[in-house]
Amino acid sequence: MALQKFDIVSANGMKFFLQLDPQDMAQRDVIAHFLSGQMYEHETSLLFLKALRSGDTAVNVGGNAGYFTMLAATLVGTQGCVVTAEANPTLAALIRNSAALNDISHLSIETVAISDRNGEIVFGSNGSNDSNGGVVPEKAPGEALESNESITQFVARAETLDSLAGRHGLERIRLLKIDTEGHELNVLKGAEGLLREKRIDFIAAELNLPGLTRNRTTQHELRAFMVGHGYHMFLLDHNGALPRLVPPGTEVRQTYTCNVLFSRIETIAGVWDSVANEPAAVHIAQR
What does the pLDDT read at residue 2? Answer: 83
Domain spans, the chain: 41-271
- The Cα–Cα gap between 267 and 185 comes to 21
The parts of the chain modelled with pLDDT lower than 70 are 1
Beta carbons within 8 Å of 203's beta carbon, 6+ residues apart: 175, 176, 177, 178, 188, 226, 231, 261, 262, 263
Name which of 3, 159, 152 is nearest 85 in CA terms: 159
Architecture, CATH, for domain 41-271: 3-Layer(aba) Sandwich (3.40)
Tens digit of each residue's pLDDT (9 = 90 or more) over 240-278:
999 999 999 999 998 889 999 999 999 999 999 998 887
What does the pLDDT read at residue 1? Answer: 61
Burial class (CB in 10 A: 0-12, 13-18, 19+), 286: exposed
The region, left, alpha or beta by phi > 0 then psi within -120 to 50, assigned to residue 64 is left
Range 178-208 burial, b when 16+ CB lie within 10 A, else e: bbbbbbbbbbbbbbbebbeeebbbbbbbbbb
Question: Up-side HSE of residue 165: CA atoms within 13 Å toward CB?
Answer: 25
pTM: 0.94
How big is the CA angle at 113 (ends 184 and 182), to the nearest 5 degrees?
25
What does the pLDDT read at residue 233? Answer: 98
Beta carbons within 8 Å of 119's beta carbon, 6+ residues apart: 141, 157, 158
What does the pLDDT read at residue 285? Answer: 75
- The Cα–Cα gap between 97 and 91 comes to 10
